[in-house]
Every structure is written in C-alpha cells, then in structure tokens.
Copies of this chain bind each other. A is one copy, B any other.
C-alpha cells in the first residue's frame, strides 16, 4: 500500500499510538490502513461414496486437483461462500453439512475452512476448471492434489466418516438469526 486509499497521499509505515504493530498510516488524513488475513472457504462434495474434485484451469497449481474452494466474499456466510465456489468451479449444487476443518496458512495470510457437503445433481467444469470428476475413495489422485490444505481436508473427511460433530455455526444478518447444530 504505497498510497492512502482515502486521500491519495503517499503512506508511511509506523506503529500507531496504542498499537503494537507497524501499519500503513496516512499522515495527511490520519487514516490507519489495517491489513488482515483472507478467508478461503470450500467443501468436500460427496455423492454415492465418491468425492467431487476439480482440475484447476488457473494458476497456482494449474492442472492439479482440488476440492471446490475460493476466497470468501463480503456479504456472504462461510457456508454460502463454499456453495458459491462449488457452483463456480464445478457448476454443481450442494447441500452444506458441517464445518469440519480449519487450516491456518499464516505465511500466506490465509485461513482455509472446509465443510462437509452432499452433491445434489450434475457437475461440469466451470471457468476455473479443466474438468470435474467424481472420484471413488481408492482412486483419489493424492500426488496430484493442488494444496496441502486440500489434502488435510480430504484426509480428515475420510477419517471422520461422518463422526465429527463439527462446530456450531450461526449467521447474524440484520435481525434474522440462523443457527445450526
């Protein structure tokens, strides 16, 4: 962040009063520009004992396989984000189950969250995928899985076999509160 997003003045890097970390600060309009981790949301869609994977059509890890996942957007819940990413990458509708895995990637400034899910119908490659395949458990292409967090999610999903209770989740939206388990 070279320039202040509020007033366009060049920023400086310093520890604001009462803070303990260096931030980008604008000395012209006194705005402190905080930078925070990004959330990646995804799911493990299952149908008839098989797992839906997407072959990546984009970098990083072009040509490798992944569960549907991507950056959470403003205005959506983590479950909604996982559903949207599955629609975008695999043209597939899913019923989201429970949040069962959280992978910190602090060096990348990311947190990856994974839900269980049931695949509800057809699937096909979206713009960011070369192809989508329902893999039998024994056929999962482990050496070709794109990301360590995806490997973790798949391993834990298979270990759990439905036994993990997951976390309680809630969505607070205006006055509507939606709570699960």
Binding site for B on A (CB under 8 A): 1-10, 18, 21, 33-39, 71-80, 99-107, 109, 111, 113, 127, 148-149, 152, 156, 163-174, 177, 179
Contacts and interface: CB of A to CB of B under 8 A. Distances in A.
A103 B172 contact: yes
A100 B168 contact: yes
Q: A-side binding surface: helix, strand, loop or mixed?
A: mixed
Task: Specify how many copies of this chain sit in the oligomer.
Answer: 2
B101 A168 contact: yes
Contacts of A156: 168
A167 B167 contact: yes
A109 B2 contact: no
A73 B103 CA distance: 15
A13 to B, nearest CB: 13
Contacts of A10: 8
A77 B149 CA distance: 14
A55 B177 CA distance: 25
B170 A103 contact: yes
Given A1-B6, A148-B172, 18 more contacts: A3-B6, A3-B7, A3-B8, A5-B5, A5-B33, A8-B10, A36-B72, A37-B39, A100-B167, A103-B172, A104-B172, A105-B171, A106-B172, A107-B172, A152-B170, A152-B179, A165-B165, A166-B167
Contacts of A38: 36
